[in-house]
Amino acid sequence: MRVRVDVGADVPSLRWEDVHGPARAVMYELLGSQDAAMAQSLHDEGWKGQPLKPFGLTSPQFKGAPKKKGVYTTSRDGSVWFGSPVPEIAAVLVASLASRTEIVWGSARLAVRGFTVDVGAPASDGPVELRTATPVVVKHESRYLLPGDNHYVERLQHNLTHKADVLGLPAPHGLRVLEAGPRRRFTVRGAPRIGAEIRVAMEADARFVEALRSWGLGLDTAQGFGWIR
């Protein structure tokens, strides 16, 4: 399940460390406000014996934000997407968001103007193309990779296979990167995250495609990376 939360910012810009940095804490606070035991278990142990956390979100994205070089500007017309392919987690998330009038995102307060559960067209088995709204993070031997680097497709495929295993679904195959955006670098809790938005193609089970749309591609989806448009 995917949820778009419409927000307005109370500050003209976000600090760069606050673009992705608060995302994980925001997600756990939302979950913990409704089900503290679930939030703690996810944080400490992952899901059903696997360390992966099956949820994702975006950084705040703003329409009509004035362009200013080197500044992440905001507006009163923004959104943050949240999701999880696991019904139990998604239900807790929706219940928490339904009661919110604001989301504290780092040093900013985002006024909640409404939220919408996204009901996309049902996927079908077979070839699919997916495009991300936030950079995808991929690593090999502690090194961040970008599309075109050696091992990039291999490591992204490994991540997809691991997610499919956690959900008990068939793994996709035939992964190809069709397009890539520029290199992006963000600081998260004092450490860098490096990636790029991508458009990919693969052969996949329809259920897994739907799951990915609520989870994301690559690593650090809990920090707002890899969210699918």
Alpha-carbon torsion 164, 83, 23, 19, what sign?
Answer: positive
Q: Contact 178/145 with Cβ under 8 angstroms? A: no
pTM of the predicted model, to two decimals? 0.94
Q: Which residue's structure tokens are 């939220």?
A: 115
HSE-up (13 A, CA, CB side) for residue 63: 6
DSSP-assigned beta bridge partners for residue 186:
193
- Type of residue at 74: T
Q: How confident is the prediction along the chain (229 residues), in pLDDT tens digits per residue?
A: 999 999 999 999 999 999 999 999 999 999 999 999 999 999 999 998 889 999 999 999 999 999 999 999 999 999 999 999 999 999 999 999 999 999 999 999 999 999 999 876 566 777 999 999 999 999 999 999 999 999 999 999 999 999 999 999 999 999 999 999 999 999 998 899 999 999 999 999 999 999 999 999 999 999 999 999 9
Strands 2-9, 56-57: parallel, antiparallel or unpaired by DSSP?
unpaired
> Which domains, and CATH codes, for the chain?
2-118 (3.30.70.1890), 126-223 (3.30.70.1900)
Residue 46: both structure tokens together: 């992952």
Cα–Cα dist 29/40, whole Å: 10
Positions of E strands within 22-150:
56-57, 61-62, 72-73, 78-83, 102-105, 108-118, 126-131, 138-140, 143-145
Report long-range pairs for 73-76 (Cβ below 8 Å, ≥24 apart). Answer: 73/12, 73/13, 74/9, 74/11, 74/12, 74/13, 74/14, 74/108, 75/8, 75/9, 76/8, 76/9
Q: What DSSP line would sit under 12-31, residue for residue?
A: SEE-GGGTSTTHHHHHHHHH
